[in-house]
Structures are given as C-alpha cells and as structure tokens.
Structure 1
Amino acid sequence: MLFRVIVSSQDIRRVTLDSVPESVKELCVTLRTILGLQGNFLLQFEDPDFGNELCNLTDIKDLPSDRVTLKVLFTASDSVSDLALQTTSLSAPTAASSVEWPDPFFIPDFSHDVELQLSAANDAYARNGTVMVISKSVKSEILDKLADVISKITPYPSKDQYESVAKALVAKHPCLREPVSAKEWYYWVFSLKFKMGNYRQRLMAAGCPEVIVNKRKRGQTIIKAIKKSKKGEIHYLPNPPEGQSAVTSEENRTTMLLEVQKSDPDLQLLDKLMALTFSQRRKEIIGDEPLISVVMDRWPGLFNQRQISAEFNRIVTTDLLQSFLDGLDAFVPSLLELYKAAVSSSRRLSLTSVMQCLNKEDTNQNRRTAALLGLPLFFSEDTSGIIKMCDVHGETLDALMKGMHVGLLIGHEGVLQDAFPLEIFNVAVVVEETIVLHNLRDVPTAFAMLMGTIYCLNLEYPGNMKYSFEFLQKVVMKIKPDQCSARIHGLRNKLLRYPL
C-alpha cells in the first residue's frame, strides 16, 4: 500500500507498506520507525467521501484502498504555535532544536493579569497612541514566557529570529512599541538576548544536551568544539524516543552490530535499529567528538549510501540525493555559461580544462561533474587536499589520502589527460585519511554523499573550499538559503538573472 505522508510543508514523504496495519496504533508505530518521528502525534487522512478534506483517522478501516495521503499532527502539553508543531517532530517539552522556526512567530498568551493590563494598554494606544509604562514584573513575565517558547525551538536563536519575535510581539501588542526608536521593536531584541543567556543557564542545570555540549571548555576536547547547529540541522542533538532508555538503546546497537556482520543483512531491520539509536549516536558524535575509526567500530551500519541518506533525512528532514541533484540540475546551465564567460574574458583560465572536457563528451553526467568541479575553480579555491584524482593501478591509497581531513577520491584507469576522467572507475568519500564510503558511481552522487557524511559526523566544511560548500548547501540544496554570505548571495543572484 502506498502512502503520501505530510510531516510538514517542507517534509513530505513517500512510504510503501507490504500490507495494511491492523490498527491506527500499529500504523503510527510503523511510521514512527520508518520516518524517525519523535513525540506524540495523531494522523489525518484525505477522505474521498468529503472531497478529500482532512479527517482524523480513528479506524484503520476508514482508509481508502491502494493510495492514501496522511498528515501528521504533533501534539505537546505546552503551547508552542500550531504552525511550529506541524513543521516537524517535537520529542519532548524540554527538547531543543527539534521544531522548525515558525514564520510568523507565534506570541503565546501571558498570565491572566498581564493579559488584562496589555488589553487595557492596547485600547489606550488605539485611542491616542499612548504606549504602556512597563513594570518590572510585567516585563519579566513577558520575557520568561517568550524565552520558554523560544527554547522549545532552539536555545540559540539567530539575529533574524530574535527580530522576528520582537516584531511579532509589538504587532500583537502595539502598546509595547518604543516610539523614540526607528525600529519600534528593537528594544525587545536586546532584552530577549539577555533573557535567553540567563535561560540557557537554567537549561544547562536541567540537563539540556545541546547546551551542555556547547558549554564545554576548549581544553576538554582534542578537536575544537563545534558550537550549536550551524548548517541548518533541525534535529541537531535530539532527546531519545519516548520510552527509550540508555540500556535499550545499547541493546539495539548491539543487535545492529550482529546484523551488519551477516552476509545478507535485513535492511529493513537495520533501518529500524538505526532510527531507534539516532539519539544515542548523535550524543556520542557531537558530545564525545570521537575519531572516525571509533565511530566506524561502534556504528558500522552508518557507513553506506542508504544509511547516510537516512541519517541526513533524520537530521535535516530533507531527502539528500534528490534535493542535491534536483537543485544542481536547476543551476547547471547557468553555471556552465558563467564558466564559459569567465574563460573567454581570461578571468578564470583554470576553468579552461574543465570546459574542454565537455567538448569531448557533452553528456548530462559530465555537465553535472563539470559544474561541481568548476565551482571551486570559479571561487579560486584550493582543492588539492580535498578532491584528488587517482589511477586505480597507480599510487597507493595511503599515500593519496595522507593529509586528507575530508574529501573525495575519484578513481580512473590510465593516465589522466583531462580535468576530470570521462570514465570514472570508482569514487570514495574520505574522512581523517580513512575511506568511509566507496563504490559510488559518479561524481555528483559522491558530492551528495560527502555533504551527507559531513552532516552525519558533525564535521566542519573544509576551509579551502568553504564557499563551494556554502553554495551547495544554501543555493543547491536550499538549506538555510536566507543566511548566505555576500559572495554566495551575489553569485546566486547572478545565476538567477543569467540568460540561458
């Protein structure tokens, strides 16, 4: 049976089940496992008897046959905005980084006495434009409530997010405006920043994992700590699934280790076990920052194309390969035209050999490869330690991987006379001088898997190719597209205006 499952407006999944579950509860458990959903939720379905309007699913027999569209509605004891709750899973009332930022931001109701004071002040503002003289107790109540709601989404709001809260606050309660300021809401931005700083101390004392990780002193780890969710992760450091303990998680990990060792492992069982151990794995990778050899020993099931894609989906709620290739294809024609113009004007002669490869064999796959390999050359970035071509019968892998923190090995046969091989033998993803993925069929797929590996292992983008990776994330994959650097923003605008 085929299901179209709407988790959020940005996250719509296709799920195929061999048979219809016997009950709604069993269907919820199945979807929770396959999609990696966390927290409590109910299901709605498009009812053909009512023009495909949504109805709550209470009896499995009400489902249409063959194809069904379901909508997941997350429930929580506290009132974060309905919009926020519908965007993605909310693992627990104290969970951080598990709800997408709502737009517009939802301002909650305050205590009854504060609401009465605000109502009277809003009426006075409507009559004569008089703003409210805010007492210390009222201000404290407002900031505490807002900090509580914000922390359920992220303990580390960005500048734009702080501003969206302040704007929404004065829009709902115009009596809180500051008339002497050009931005009448800006006073609240500074107050919220100070309040969130204090609130994070309370979260740390309560055991919030993400805040505890980010409070580590630099000397406590060998590798420089990576603070906060920086690349658009939605489930950066999630709480365990409801009812899951450290003991059961470790038992699931042990079962996974045994299953991986089989010559013909059960892929569906591995999918389930990887989803159940997601929280433990993220806690180890982010909290302990282990060497790649340790991660591969403890989580060998992660290191294949299927599981990297699934893990990326759990972290960002985005299909890795589809979003990468679809986004890339949208920009390939403009990028190649931009490269041609740069070569003809002698601004980027290093791109000449890349464009010459297309003259020899202009296929869709080669156009994708040229667009990707030409990107760092266009930015004048050094790829020597990140992207390496290797003759499969030539230099030893150990010598080639020496000094590679993260990157790609593109394998070919014979002497390479072009910018990239027109016939690729094998592509491998390398982390800390170790091959973690191999037998990738082409360069575009390998780039997607490299992006997925960086997210799954919580790695930093290579500094020598920071603009290329930022372009791939924010422009190609559209993850946090509104937070581009000036250079990437300018290139994106140029590409969107470029004549095809």
Structure 2
Amino acid sequence: MSTFHITFKEQKQVFEVQDISTLKEKVRSEFHIDEDIRFQLYDKTWDDWVDVEIHQLPQRGKIQIITIPHEDTLPINLTDLSSTNSLFSESYNFSDAPIQIEPPTKNFISSMIQLAHQKESCQSTSQAEDISSASTSSSHSWNVEEDCSTGESDVKRKWLEMKQWPDKFALPRLPVVLEGKLNAERMPNDRERRQIVQTLFDYMAGFTSYPLSAHYSEAVRCLLEKYPFLGKETIPGARPVEYWRMKIMDKFRNERKHMPVEKKRKSSGVTPAKAVDDQQLVDDTASIQRHKKWMQEEARRARQNEVKISQMMEITFQPRRKWIIDEKPTVAELKREFPCLFSQRQILIEMRRITPSIDACHAKDLLMSNLEAYAKYLIDSCQSKKNAKAIVNNYREAIANLTNDQAKEAKVLTALVLVPFYFKGEKLSSYLVGDQEEDSLLTAHPKVCYKGDLYAPEEIVVQAENVLVCTCKSMLDALCCLICTYFAFDMEYPKECKNSLLLAETMLGAKNRTTRSVQSLIQKVLSCTSKV
C-alpha cells in the first residue's frame, strides 16, 4: 500500500493505492480533472517544485498536481490577446458600468460586504446570460477548427506562427573555450559569468522579451544541473540560485530599455530570433495598453481565466510598478487601471514579484510555522495587560469548541492580535476592525474589516482608502493580504501599527525591515521560550 499527500490548487487529500500505476486516474477522478496531469515534487536543492515521473514518487511523499492542456488547445499569443476580445464579444456580455466607490459611512463594513456580494451576484447573472446567449446564437459562434481548415482564422494563424516557450528548456551551447573551462569545473571569472548570462539571454529572447518567473527558474535549474559546481557557495555575498536568476532578470530589464524593432543580439552559437514588427513587440507601450484593456474586460466576466490574468499581470508588472511609485495613484485609480490586481490571489502574487525572498503565496503557512512556537508566550504574557485580558478570555472560551487545526490557527491569530499591546502607542483597531468599531474606518490606510466573532467571522474583507481590495476566507489570510497590500500599493505602515505589522512581516521571512522595538520583543520572546 502506497500513501501520498496530494495538493491540487486549494484542495488537499491523502491517497492510498495498492498499485501506483492507478494513482493518476484516481487523482483525476477525486479532483474532477478533465485534462491530463503532471506530478511535481519539492526539491530542496533548487528550492522549487520539479516534474517527476509517477514511478519516482516517494512513499508518503508530499506531491503537487498541475494540469496539462489538451493538444488541441490554442497556444497563447501574449501580444495579440486584445484582438481576441472581438472574437468572443458575441458570446459574452460585458457590463460597462463603472466601479462605484462609496464614501465612508457609519455602516461601512456592511456596505463593503454588500459590494462583495453584489459582485458575486453580477457574476452569476452574467454567467446565466452567457449560457442563454450561447444557446440562442449558435449560428454566430466561432468555430476554431473550421476557420483553421478554411484559412479564415488570422488570429490562430498568428498563434501558430509564434515561437512558443519550449515544453522542456534545453541549455544553449556556450562558447567553446568557456564550455571547456566549465567542463573542467573551473570557476568562471566576472567576464565569463557575463558570457553565460549573455548566452542564456540570447536564447530566451528568442521566445519572449518578458519571461515569466517560472522561465527564469527553469533556465537557472538547467544551468546548475549541467554544471553543479556553479551552485556552490563560491560567489561572495550571494546565494548561487538567486545570483544567476537576478543576473538574467537584470539583463532582460536593461535590454528592454533600448531594444530596437529588430532584435540585434550577438549570438553565441544560437540562431537569433526572427525580426518582428512594432505591433508584435511586447515591450512597447501600445502592447501594454492592450494587455491592460484585456484585463479590464476580463475582470467583468463571470468566469475569469486566472492563468491568462497571471501572465498579463506578470507582463505589465514593470510599467505598473513604475506608475505606482512615480505617480502615486489613489487606490480607486489603481482599481480602474488594474482591476485584476484586486483579488486575494493576485495581491499575494504581486508581493512575490516585489520581494521574491518572501513566499507570499504560502504566507499563511509561513505565519503558522514561524509564530506557533512563540504564540503561547505572547498570549500568557498579555493576561495582565489592560484591555488585553478580554481578548485572552475570549480566545480560551473559543478554543473549547474548535478542532485541533482550528485551535492552532486561533492561537496564532490571537498572538498577532495581542502584538500591539507590546508596543507603546499602537492600537489593534488601526489595522483590524470589527463591526463594533466602525469609527476606526475613517482613516484611509489599508485594514482588515470583519463581521461577527473574531474566531468565527461571517465575512472578512481587506479595504484601503475606502475601496474594497479583496475578500478572504480566514483572518490569517486577511492579515497576510493586508501586509501584501501595503507592498503592492507602495504605502508605508502608519505609526499606530507600524511595529505590529513589521513583526508579522518578519514572521513571513522579510529581512532588514525592522525597528529596535521589534528586535527587542523578538529577542525577549526567544529568550523566554528557550528557557521554557
């Protein structure tokens, strides 16, 4: 009997099979997956998930599942996505109603929650209309196979002509002298390291001018697999994996600033990319505007394509970040320009783009693992503090009715809630507001608002400048999203909760962003818990 812990998106399940060859079909059946699937195992050497064959899965292993699109699925052309809007306009009805931003009111939490419900209601209505429209106008539907066979589909023809990112990345050929030196495991000097980066850039630029995060990781993985000694701690002041990844990213960033219409790069044994015209370049302003327009229309749809949204958000990250930092737009303006950013998933991914050292997509797990050992001390030490005793008593009453997993989460949440009591002048209500504390909503900085009991809230939202940012399923998710919101919107922590949020940020793995007060509390907690 073989046992595996398998994760697919937000679903987690333990599978037991007699014959490992039946695992794939059982997983597809349990998770209701129509596409083919691929197994991934976490590799500590590369600090990433890597593909493995089914016979390589370890007993009681922790496995991740990703789906493989069907072969007849069209490849994505990132430069022409905006043109697909007209193709689907007959099947989907977009609402042109602008986003309503309500001024702060006494019953603001209720209004924010109603706004979230209205969005869900609109999506359900839109979905019903889509189905109705599809059934009544089938004569106008766009048949991809028919158009392709008759030569009528310009969009598909462009997609087929585009050079797509390879399914399996192969390390390009390096200059002969450099390759001989690396084969002899001799550490390259600065000039030779630049040659390596240049060769990787020339090859990758043949596919895209804006590689995704996974593309950079794949290139570095291939480099270090062929030359493992490059992954040793031999570069002063740098982790090898991050060093090569950042060098390649910097190379792309610098080249994009002055990349001409025809990409003229000196090739190191690699055939250069074919010349493309202005409209096909991802780098230009017009392309970025088309991507933004596509996301604005996609945000109104009932069923959104999360994969494409993530790709578009990745491509527009640099101009978006520059606009936020230079122009300081309001949150309402930001929501009008990039509505897809305003979801729990995209806020966390944006944090990871800004600070790759923090695994924001697993922020809740990081908080749980890093803070759980110290939560008991933080709770017990607060029992005698003014106004904190009621929170501690409420926690002790609540855990009596919770499962073990829920009790662990409640303990970490309580510790975070009590942190402001350790810092002079800080207030819990400056970033966590219940429905009995709506006066605290008059301030504009981001905060978590919830309705009901702290340990069993009916609704949870994150809002900034009285604009709904996202809804969350748990309080810990919401607090993680709150920290990510400050990063994504380039905002500073307010004085009345700065140390509290910095401590939470430190628990997520942030470095060099702390104060003496936070360091003092951390040292005190570490000292007391070590004695225990």
- Report TM bin, short chain: 0.5 to 0.7
**1:108-119 correspondence runs (5 A):** none
Structure 2 contact 378–419 (Cα < 8 Å) conserved: no
Q: Does 1:24 align with 2:169?
A: yes
Q: Does 1:12 align with 2:51?
A: no
Q: Distance in 2 between matches of 1:430 and 1:290?
A: 16
1:294 positional shift:
0.4
**Match in the other structure for 1:489:** 519
**Match in the other structure for 2:109:** none
**1:452-463 correspondence runs (5 A):** 452-463=484-495
**Match in the other structure for 1:252:** 291
**1:48-127 correspondence runs (5 A):** 54-55=225-226, 83=240, 85-86=243-244, 88=246, 90-93=248-251
Distance 1:330 1:498, change over 3 A: farther
Q: Distance in 2 between matches of 1:484 and 1:384?
A: 21
Q: 1:465 aligns with which of 494, 497, 506?
A: 497
Structure 1 contact 256–301 (Cα < 8 Å) conserved: yes
Give the number of aligned pairs: 313
**Match in the other structure for 1:358:** 395
Which string of whole-angstrom CA distances, capped at 9 and with x for unpartnered residues, describes residues 413-449 of structure 1? xxxxxxx5332111111111222112x1221111000
Q: Is the deviation greater in 261-270 or in 18-27?
A: 18-27
Q: Does 1:299 align with 2:341?
A: no
1:297 positional shift:
0.3
- Secondary structure, in 3 states, of the residue corresponding to 2:470? strand
- Secondary structure, in 3 states, of the residue corresponding to 2:289? helix
Q: Distance in 2 between matches of 1:336 and 1:271?
A: 38
Q: Which residue type is aligned with residue 316 of structure 1?
A: T
Q: Does 1:446 align with 2:490?
A: no
Which string of whole-angstrom CA distances, capped at 9 and with x for unpartnered residues, describes residues 119-140 of structure 1? xxxxxxxxxxxxxxxxxxxxxx
**Structure of higher RCO (CA pairs closer than 8 Å, 6+ residues apart):** 2
Q: Distance in 2 between matches of 1:72 and 1:31?
A: 26
Distance 1:445 1:292, change over 3 A: same
**Match in the other structure for 1:384:** 429
**Match in the other structure for 1:367:** 411
**Match in the other structure for 1:279:** 318
1:43 positional shift:
4.6
Which string of whole-angstrom CA distances, capped at 9 and with x for unpartnered residues, describes residues 95-118 of structure 1? 59xxxxxxxxxxxxxxxxxxxxxx
Distance 1:467 1:82, change over 3 A: closer
Q: Which residue type is aligned with residue 409 of structure 1?
A: C
Structure 1 contact 429–446 (Cα < 8 Å) conserved: yes
**Match in the other structure for 2:354:** 315
Q: Which residue type is aligned with residue 464 of structure 2?
A: V
Q: Which residue type is aligned with residue 341 of structure 2?
A: L
1:379 positional shift:
1.9
1:253 positional shift:
1.3
Instruction: Say what the alpha-carbon RMSD is for the aligned residues.
Output: 4.0
Q: Distance in 2 between matches of 1:323 and 1:487?
A: 23
1:370 positional shift:
0.7
- Secondary structure, in 3 states, of the residue corresponding to 1:261? coil
Structure 1 contact 385–404 (Cα < 8 Å) conserved: no
**Match in the other structure for 1:331:** 371
Distance 1:462 1:81, change over 3 A: closer
Q: Which residue type is aligned with residue 434 of structure 1?
A: V
- Secondary structure, in 3 states, of the residue corresponding to 1:24? coil
1:461 positional shift:
0.8
1:314 positional shift:
1.0
Structure 2 contact 170–222 (Cα < 8 Å) conserved: no
Q: 1:477 aligns with which of 490, 508, 519?
A: 508
Q: 2:457 aligns with which of 406, 415, 424?
A: 424
- Secondary structure, in 3 states, of the residue corresponding to 1:461? coil
Distance 1:386 1:81, change over 3 A: closer
Q: Distance in 1 between matches of 2:496 and 2:245?
A: 35
1:250 positional shift:
1.4
**Match in the other structure for 1:409:** 449
Structure 1 contact 430–436 (Cα < 8 Å) conserved: yes
Q: Which residue type is aligned with residue 477 of structure 1?
A: L
Q: Distance in 2 between matches of 1:469 and 1:72?
A: 38
Q: Which residue type is aligned with residue 497 of structure 1?
A: S
Q: Which residue type is aligned with residue 368 of structure 1?
A: V
Q: Distance in 2 between matches of 1:372 and 1:245?
A: 45
Q: Which residue type is aligned with residue 426 of structure 1?
A: E
**1:211-290 correspondence runs (5 A):** 244-290=283-329
Q: Distance in 2 between matches of 1:281 and 1:85?
A: 25
Structure 1 contact 38–90 (Cα < 8 Å) conserved: yes
Structure 1 contact 72–86 (Cα < 8 Å) conserved: no
Q: Distance in 1 between matches of 2:435 and 2:389?
A: 21
Structure 1 contact 5–12 (Cα < 8 Å) conserved: yes
1:245 positional shift:
1.8
Which string of whole-angstrom CA distances, capped at 9 and with x for unpartnered residues, describes residues 181-240 of structure 1? xxxxxxxxxxxxxxxxxxxxxxxxx99xxxxxxxxxxxxxxxxxxxxxxxxxxxxxxxxx
Structure 2 contact 450–459 (Cα < 8 Å) conserved: yes
Q: Distance in 2 between matches of 1:448 and 1:403?
A: 20
Structure 2 contact 216–245 (Cα < 8 Å) conserved: no
- Quote the sequence identity (%): 16
Q: Distance in 1 between matches of 2:328 and 2:285?
A: 19
TM-score, normalised with respect to structure 1: 0.54
**1:171-210 correspondence runs (5 A):** none
5+ residue gaps, structure 1: 47-53, 57-69, 74-79, 97-205, 208-241, 413-419
Which string of whole-angstrom CA distances, capped at 9 and with x for unpartnered residues, describes residues 323-361 of structure 1? 443234432342332331343xx4x23221121022212
**Match in the other structure for 1:435:** 468
Distance 1:14 1:257, change over 3 A: farther
TM-score, normalised with respect to structure 2: 0.51
5+ residue gaps, structure 2: 1-37, 52-65, 72-165, 172-202, 232-236, 259-280, 400-406
Structure 1 contact 406–462 (Cα < 8 Å) conserved: no
Q: Distance in 1 between matches of 2:466 and 2:396?
A: 34
Structure 2 contact 375–411 (Cα < 8 Å) conserved: no
Structure 2 contact 444–466 (Cα < 8 Å) conserved: yes
Q: Distance in 1 between matches of 2:514 and 2:430?
A: 25
Structure 2 contact 451–458 (Cα < 8 Å) conserved: yes
Structure 1 contact 429–436 (Cα < 8 Å) conserved: yes
Q: Which residue type is aligned with residue 249 of structure 1?
A: I
Q: Distance in 2 between matches of 1:36 and 1:8?
A: 16
- Secondary structure, in 3 states, of the residue corresponding to 1:271? helix
Q: Distance in 1 between matches of 2:218 and 2:40?
A: 20
Q: Which residue type is aligned with residue 504 of structure 2?
A: L
